[in-house]
């Protein structure tokens, strides 16, 4: 029953001070743009780190007399292992010769010194160490390598990206709330007499608050929806070109990123508008 | 209706606005609160509608100790206490009728009941023909009548008026006082803080005299006027010598 009244109030207020509304919407728009672009960079950085980590795999080198089938079965039974690919000593030697580009020749060797091996792919980088330890215990496995140093550095980098990302996103969110609440405070300040009158005639605090909160939410949603459209549109345009130019870069595709990012940005705008209004109007609701 | 016991009020800046005020106002009474600027009249009124909270002592309105009211209960008190001010405090973007209706909307009154109730109180204050005017299109006296209509629309048991005629010409002042008098006759308790000696002298109602935060006189059918030198307030009780009183 009150909702129609609240909406009427919001429309009247926006009509009465359109410049203030434009200021609030623009503030949310600009800050959501920054937030949105920053989020796309963070997601891509994390994707890059993850794709590099996927390259790191466990290699189990076998004894000469190892039972390949049994080793393969045991490897695949280790939790976190997605596949075990057999590389025979001949294949390994050919690869080595190829990599050395003629600096060694097969004919020079009296025998193939390389062992048979399994390249073991794991689900996540955090599984590497555990898989390596278990693989080492399997009978027939001589030794195990998994690029320990690289994996640790990548994991560290990944954690750093995530922490820095969360800290910066939180700071951006808080500063958005602060700036929006200050902008909205101007509109609330312009109507402080009205709030006083409302309190004087016995309006409950929630009744005074709701139109302001609703106005903040609408302004926040509008600003962030425009910003989300800009972020989404530009991302969808830039990504295909980026993939074409820098083929090795694992850029997150627009269809994977935007369905999550855009609703989050728009919701965030509404939330920021609501909190900003609430903070402002509470300052004028002293009793 | 109102019971005030040993009331002290100290503002945050340390200024003591009221000292040990004791007072009783009965249901249906009409009371003038007089005193010079800074005597504590407005502070006392603000305590009666819980704009301020006592520093010590108690203010009871209709048996409710306002000092004990939770914040969320204050709006409900305000609906049973009408308040009017010198500056009218109307919403400039709403018409006279909308300003009055507003006080009903916030209490959740059914929409279909609002127009008839608004028309009723506007008629009571003689503004039926100006219901659709904005405050800026009304004279001071008419704006104050809208404010009175708004304060009455929820049928309060107590009406507080803080210098209600401070901005008005003598004719409008008299109109307003007559309306307030009619309100009292209908059973509402009316408390008016004023500087207007003519009004007090003519109305011959109960007069409470405040001086520097103290209630110094309580006269049943009092009058007051500035002394010949214009330097202070004198109040007289009918039948009592003029010197019964004070000022300075």
Contacts of B79 in chain A (CB under 8 A): 201-202
Identify the residue among B75, B99, B121 best suited for mutation to test binding to A, counting A beta carbons within 10 A and taking the highest: B75
A201:B108 CB<8 A? no
Q: Which of A177-181, A218-222, A275-279, B235-239 has the lowest mean pLDDT?
A: B235-239
Task: Say what the pLDDT of residue B234 is.
Answer: 58
pLDDT-derived band at B99 (thresholds 50, 70, 90) equals very high
Can you give the pLDDT at residue A1? 61
Chain B touched by A286 (CB under 8 Å): no
Residues A85 and A47 in one domain: no
Residues A202 and A270 in one domain: yes
Are residues A113 and A86 located together in one domain of the fold? yes
Indicate the residue of A1, A16, A201 with minimum beta-carbon distance to B150: A201
pLDDT at position B239: 46
Average pLDDT over residues A127-135: 86
Q: Say yes or no for a CB contact (<8 Å) between A197 and B90.
A: yes
The predicted pLDDT at position B238 comes to 52
Q: Write the CA distances from A153 to A12, A39, A149, A215, integer angstroms.
A: 58, 23, 6, 48
Q: Which residues of B touch A194 (CB under 8 A)?
A: 91
Residue B227 φ/ψ, nearest 5 degrees: -70, 175
Strands A141-145, A117-122: pairing kind: unpaired
Range of the domain at A113: 57-146
Give the pLDDT confidence of B115-157 residue by residue, as tens digits.
999 999 999 899 999 999 999 999 998 999 999 999 989 889 9
pLDDT at B30: 94
The pLDDT-based confidence of B241 (bands split at 50, 70, 90) is: very low
pLDDT on residue B246? 39
Question: Which residues in chain A have Cβ-Cβ distances shorter than 8 Å to B89?
Answer: 193, 196-197, 200
Chain A partners within 8 Å of B74 (Cβ): 287
- pLDDT surpassing 80 at residue A162: yes
* pLDDT for B228: 43
Among A2, A202, A287, select the one facing B79 at the smallest CB separation.
A202
> Tell me, what's the pLDDT at A271?
92
Q: Taking chain A, what is the end-to-end CA distance rounded to the nearest angstrom? A: 27
A174/A64 same-domain check: no
Q: Are B235 and B209 in contact (CB under 8 A)?
A: yes
DSSP assignment, residue B22? E
Percentages helix, strand, coil for chain A (3-state, rounded to 5) are 75, 10, 20
pLDDT digits (tens, 9 = 90+) for B29-87: 999 999 888 899 999 999 999 999 999 999 999 889 998 888 888 998 998 899 999 88
A178 and A228 share a domain? yes
Average pLDDT over residues A28-52: 87
Contact B72 A5 (CB under 8 A): no
Instruction: Tell me the whole-structure pTM to 2 decimals.
Output: 0.68
CB contact under 8 A, B103 and A199: no
Say which DSSP state B71 is in: G
Q: Which chain B residues touch A16 with a CB distance below 8 Å?
A: 93
- Judged by CB atoms closer than 8 Å, whether chains meet at A198 and B106 is answered as yes
**In this complex, do A200 and B154 lie within 8 Å of one another by their Cβ atoms?**
no
Sheet with strand B81-85: strands edge to edge: B81-85, B158-162, B189-194, B30-34, B206-211, B214-219
Domains of chain B: 2-244 (3.40.50.300)
Strand pairing category for B233-236 and B223-226: antiparallel
- Please report which confidence band the pLDDT of residue B5 belongs to, taking 50, 70 and 90 as the band edges: very high
Dump pLDDT digits (tens) for B171-209.
Answer: 888 888 988 998 899 899 999 999 888 888 888 889 998
Tell whether A267 and A168 lie within a shared domain.
yes
Average pLDDT for A176-195: 82
B50 to chain A, closest Cα gap in Å: 8
Return the residue of B nearest to A197 by Cα.
Answer: B89
Inter-chain CB proximity B106 and A193 less than 8 Å: no
Does A198 lie at the interface with B, CB-CB under 8 angstroms?
yes
Report the pLDDT value the prediction gives residue A33, as an integer from 0 to 100. Answer: 93
Please report the pLDDT score of residue A8 as a whole number. Answer: 81
Nearest Cα to Cα of residue B203 among B213, B214, B211, B194: B194
Q: Is the pLDDT of residue B229 over 50?
A: no
The answer to whether residues A67 and A274 touch, using CB atoms and an 8 Å cutoff, is: no
The whole-number pLDDT of residue B4 equals: 93
CA-nearest residue to B88 within chain A is A197
B90 CB neighbours in chain A (<8 A) are 197
Say if the Cβ atoms of B78 and A287 lie within 8 Å: no
Which of B72, B76, B83 lies closest to A200 in CB terms?
B83
CATH number at residue A121: 3.30.70.3040
Q: Given an 8 Å threshold on Cβ–Cβ distance, is A197 in contact with B89?
A: yes
Q: Is residue A273 within 8 Å of residue A180, measured between CB atoms?
A: yes
Q: What is the pLDDT of residue B236?
A: 58
pLDDT band at B225 (very low <50, low <70, confident <90, very high): low
Mark which of A76, A111, A146 sits at the end of a domain: A146
d(CA B18, CA A104): 104
Task: For residue range A96-116, list pLDDT tens digits in order.
Answer: 887 776 677 777 777 888 899
Tell me if B108 and A203 make a contact (CB, 8 A cut-off). no
3 state SS of B195:
coil
Mutate to test the interface with A, among B106, B110, B152 (most CBs of A within 10 A): B106
A143-149 mean pLDDT: 81
Give me the count of residues in chain A: 287
Residue B244 pLDDT: 36
Q: Tell me, yes or no, whether A45 and A65 share the same domain.
A: no
Among A146, A170, A201, where does a domain finish? A146
Using DSSP, state whether B216 is helix, strand or coil: strand
Contacts of B68 (CB under 8 A, 6+ apart): none
- Judge whether residue A228 has pLDDT over 60: yes
Same domain, A226 and A103: no
Q: What is the pLDDT of residue A5?
A: 77
Residues A132, A16 share a domain:
no
* Dihedral, CA of residue B79, residue B84, residue B87 and residue B93, to nearest 10: 40
- Mean pLDDT over the full length of chain A: 85
Closest-CA residue of chain A to B73: A204
Q: Is A62 found in the same domain as A41?
A: no
CB A2 to CB B108 under 8 A?
yes
Determine the distance in angstroms separating the CA of A217 from the nearest CA of chain B, rounded to an integer. Answer: 22
Q: What is the pLDDT of residue B237?
A: 56
CB pairs under 8 A between A and B: 48
Q: Does A190 touch chain B (CB under 8 A)?
A: no
DSSP label at B243?
Answer: G
- Helix-helix angle A2-16:A205-245, to 10 degrees: 70
Query: Which of B89, B107, B108 is facing A200, going by the closest CB pair?
Result: B89
- Measured in degrees and rounded to the nearest 5, phi and psi for residue B50 equal 60, 35
- Work out how many domains chain A is built from and give that number: 2
Residues A24 and A119 in one domain: no
Mean pLDDT for A10-29 is: 84
From A102, A131, A146, the end of a domain falls on A146
Q: What is the SS3 assignment for B185?
A: helix
- Of residues A200, A202, A207, nearest to B76 (C-beta): A202
**A41 and A161 in one domain?**
yes
pLDDT for A24 equals 86
């Amino acid at each position: 029953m009150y909702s129609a009244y609240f909406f009427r109030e919001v429309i009247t207020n926006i009509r009465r001070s359109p410049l203030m509304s434009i200021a609030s919407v623009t503030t949310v728009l600009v800050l959501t743009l920054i937030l949105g672009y920053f989020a796309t960079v963070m997601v891509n950085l994390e994707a890059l780190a993850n794709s590099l980590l996927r390259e790191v795999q466990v290699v189990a080198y076998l004894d000469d007399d190892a039972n390949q089938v049994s080793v393969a079965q045991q490897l695949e039974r280790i939790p976190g292992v997605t596949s075990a690919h057999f590389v025979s000593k001949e294949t390994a030697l050919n690869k080595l010769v190829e990599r050395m580009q003629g600096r060694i020749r097969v004919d020079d060797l009296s025998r193939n010194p390389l062992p048979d091996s399994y390249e073991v792919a794991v689900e996540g980088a955090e599984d590497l160490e555990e898989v390596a330890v278990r693989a080492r215990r399997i009978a027939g496995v001589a030794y195990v390598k998994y690029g320990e140093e690289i994996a640790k550095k990548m994991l560290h980098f990944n954690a750093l990206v995530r922490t820095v990302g969360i800290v910066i996103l939180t700071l951006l969110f808080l500063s958005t709330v602060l700036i929006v609440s200050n902008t909205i405070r101007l509109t609330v300040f312009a109507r402080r007499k009205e709030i006083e009158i409302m309190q004087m005639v016995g309006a409950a605090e929630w009744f005074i608050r709701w139109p302001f909160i609703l106005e903040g939410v609408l302004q926040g949603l509008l600003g962030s929806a425009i910003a989300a459209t800009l972020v989404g549109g530009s991302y969808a345009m830039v990504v295909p070109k980026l993939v074409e130019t820098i083929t090795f870069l694992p850029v997150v595709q627009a269809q994977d990123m935007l369905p999550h990012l855009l609703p989050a940005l728009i919701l965030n705008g509404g939330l920021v508008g609501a909190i900003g209004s609430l903070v402002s109007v509470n300052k004028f609701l002293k009793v | 209706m109102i019971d005030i016991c040993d009331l002290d009020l100290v503002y945050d800046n340390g200024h003591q606005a009221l000292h040990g005020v004791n007072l009783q106002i009965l249901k249906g009474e009409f009371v003038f609160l007089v005193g010079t600027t800074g005597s504590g009249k407005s502070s006392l009124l603000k305590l009666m509608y819980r704009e301020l909270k006592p520093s010590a002592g108690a203010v009871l309105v209709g048996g409710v100790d306002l000092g004990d009211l939770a914040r969320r209960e204050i709006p409900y008190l305000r609906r049973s206490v009408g308040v009017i001010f010198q500056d009218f405090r109307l919403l400039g973007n709403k018409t006279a009728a909308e300003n009055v209706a507003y006080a009903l909307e916030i209490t959740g009154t059914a929409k279909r009941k609002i127009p008839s109730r608004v028309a009723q109180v506007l008629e009571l204050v003689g503004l039926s023909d100006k219901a659709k005017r904005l405050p800026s299109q009304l004279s001071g006296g008419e704006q104050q009548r809208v404010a009175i209509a708004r304060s009455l629309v929820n049928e309060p048991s107590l009406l507080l008026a803080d210098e209600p005629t401070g901005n008005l010409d003598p004719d409008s002042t008299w109109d307003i006082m007559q309306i307030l008098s009619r309100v009292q006759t209908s059973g509402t308790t009316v408390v008016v803080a004023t500087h207007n000696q003519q009004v007090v002298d003519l109305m011959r109602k109960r007069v409470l005299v405040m001086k520097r935060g103290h209630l110094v006189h309580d006269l049943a059918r009092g009058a007051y006027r500035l002394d010949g030198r214009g330097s202070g307030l004198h109040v007289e009780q009918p039948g009592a010598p003029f010197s019964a009183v004070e000022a300075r």
